[in-house]
Amino acid sequence: MFRLDGKTAAITGAGSGIGASIAGLFARAGARVAVLEIDAAGARETVERIRAERGEAEAFACDVSDAEQVERAFDALAQRFGGLHVLVNNAGIAHVGSVATTSEADFERLFQVNVKGVFLCTRSGVRHLLAGGGGAILNLASIASLIGLEERFAYSMTKGAVLAMTRSVAVDFMQQGIRCNCICPARVHTPFVDGFIAENYPGREAEMFKTLSDYQPLGRMGTPLEVAALALYLCSDEAAFITGQAFPIDGGVLVK
């Protein structure tokens, strides 16, 4: 169960964190993995790690907010691997601020990556999925798309859009063999979190790590591998009856 043998999976932002864990797990499940990443060094590390485990992976340079780069990357990966069967829209950026403290530049930057990026990659991905008779799309949203979070105005706006796009794509293409779902994580322990704490709370790293962990009622952050495991299920044939849904993985936040 939960195998991706013979399938090609494109994963955006797979150079680190959740994306890298999804890429690694999908490769171990038999997928040919296309790492779409703006960070060449991170992409190289992910590909090398997969190949060291005897998996198949290739890196494709891609700024998800650039339409031409996205088209080129998807055409190249489809040619390299003989098509596309799974797309994971993972690439994204974060922001801290309310509507009163969010600058127009920050708002635009979040929109370009988190919303336009998902649009562009999904548009290209759908074209190739249809050519192969269908497949699965998985978007990384957030609990911020389901509840209000303090100081996350622009970020929440983008993740709400991801949830809406997920349901729209599911409705538009379910008769053509394409499923589309999204995952809504709470806080996940990634290098981004460690960097955020170090930059904003120097000298208080341990204290803030505990505070951020305790936000989840289970008393800890999630792990990238836990998110990857859910992603693998939703992109596998075992989830063939699921589309248009949002799956929280939140340590109990939504029921506290």
Catalogue the active-site residues.
Answer: 155
Say what the alpha-carbon torsion angle 62, 64, 65, 66 is, to the nearest 10 degrees: 40
**What are the backbone angles phi and psi of residue 123, rounded to the nearest 5°?**
-60, -45
Tokens of 99: 């509507």
Q: What is the DSSP string of 21-85?
A: HHHHHHHHTT-EEEEEES-HHHHHHHHHHHHHTT-EEEEEE--TT-HHHHHHHHHHHHHHHTS--
Tokens of 141: 């949203």
Q: What is the CA radius of gyration of the chain?
A: 17
Please report, for residues 24, 57, 61, 70, the alpha-carbon distance to residue 34 in angstroms, rounded to integers and kept in the order given: 11, 6, 10, 13
**What are the backbone angles phi and psi of residue 14, rounded to the nearest 5°?**
-90, 15
Rounded CA separation 201/56 (Å): 40
Tokens of 29: 């499940």
Instruction: Report which of 211, 21, 39, 13 is spatially closest to residue 93, judged by C-alpha positions.
Output: 13
Say what the alpha-carbon torsion angle 203, 102, 108, 167 is, to the nearest 10 degrees: 90
